[in-house]
Amino acid sequence: MDLIAYLIEKPPDVNLIIGQAHFIKSVEDIHEAIVNTVPGVRFGLAFCEASGDALVRFSGTSQTMTDLAKKNARGMGAGHSFIVLLENAYPINVLNAIQAVPEVCTIFCATSNPVQVILAETDEGRGILGVVDGCSPKGIEGEADQAERKSLLRRFGYKF
């Protein structure tokens, strides 16, 4: 078995969701979950089929994000994995809807941070072991940091 760290390629302001699903129907169902949750959302979705033709299946509302999702899915090459790249929405806006899709098994991460996907490669193919999401903590939050966190959430409209 070989271990691979695959760096997801994306612009810094783009959010992503990486997960695992179990059926070719996932592409349509995840697409519907996203557009039914955030009208006007711009995203790309790619899914690595794990049997049959073993193609990268894709969908989206933004050609740029869809092309980037296809490139990253192909680069990961992990069976039944999917990646969603969000241009004008946050994962928190769509995560519950995606998790409610019957074919979705696991969400590995939802972030705008730089992400490395840790893959195991065997004679059978590749599988996701986990992700490295951003950097390690640099310290412990102080009172000023707490105030800034609370202010940020209010500026984003998540708290009142």
Contacting residues for 93 by C-beta, under 8 A, at least 6 apart? 37, 38, 41, 86
Q: Could you report the per-residue pLDDT of 104-152, keeping only the tens digit for each? A: 999 999 999 999 999 999 999 999 999 999 999 999 999 999 999 999 8
Whole-model pTM: value is 0.92
Residue 160: what pLDDT? 82
Mapping DSSP to helix (H, G, I), strand (E, B) and coil, where does residue 75 land?
helix
CATH superfamily of 2-155: Ta1353-like (3.40.1520.10)
Residue 35 CB-density burial (10 A; 0-12 exposed, 13-18 middle, 19+ buried) = middle
Confidence at residue 159, expressed as pLDDT on a 0 to 100 scale? 81
pLDDT value for 158: 80
With the CA atoms of 89, 92, 98 and 99 taken in that order, what torsion angle do they form, in degrees rounded to the nearest 10? 170
- Give the start-to-end residue ranges of the domains of the chain: 2-155
Strands (E), the chain: 2-7, 15-21, 43-48, 56-60, 81-86, 104-111, 115-121, 126-133
* Cβ(115)–Cβ(15) below 8 Å: no
Angle between helices 91-99 and 26-37 (to 10 degrees): 130
Q: Classify residue 90 as exposed, middle or buried by CB count within 10 Å of its CB (0-12, 13-18, 19+).
A: middle
84 within 8 A of 98, measured Cβ to Cβ: yes
Amino acid 94: pLDDT: 98
